[in-house]
Amino acid sequence: MTYCYELKSGEIVERAFPVGKAPMAIRIKGETAKRSYEAESKSVPAPAGWPIECVASGVHPEQAGELRKHLADRGVATEITPSGNPIYTDAQHRRKALKARGMVDRSSFI
Residue 78 CA: distances (Å) to CA of 6, 12, 21, 38: 22, 21, 12, 23
Based on the structure, what is the number of domains in the chain?
Answer: 2
Quickly state the pLDDT bin for 108 (edges 50, 70, 90): low
With beta carbons less than 8 A apart as the criterion, state whether 36 and 49 touch: no
Inform me whether the pLDDT recorded for 49 exceeds 90. no
With beta carbons less than 8 A apart as the criterion, state whether 84 and 64 touch: yes
Q: Are residues 70 and 95 in the same domain?
A: yes
With beta carbons less than 8 A apart as the criterion, state whether 35 and 25 touch: yes
**Beta-carbon neighbour count of residue 5 at 10 Å?**
23
Quickly state the pLDDT bin for 39 (edges 50, 70, 90): confident
Domain span holding position 14: 2-41
Q: Are residues 64 and 89 in the same domain?
A: yes
pLDDT in tens, 79-103: 999 999 999 998 889 999 999 999 9
Among the ranges given (32-36, 44-48, 79-83), the one the predictor scored with the smallest mean pLDDT: 44-48
Q: Are residues 59 and 34 in the same domain?
A: no
- Give the predicted TM-score (pTM) of the model: 0.55
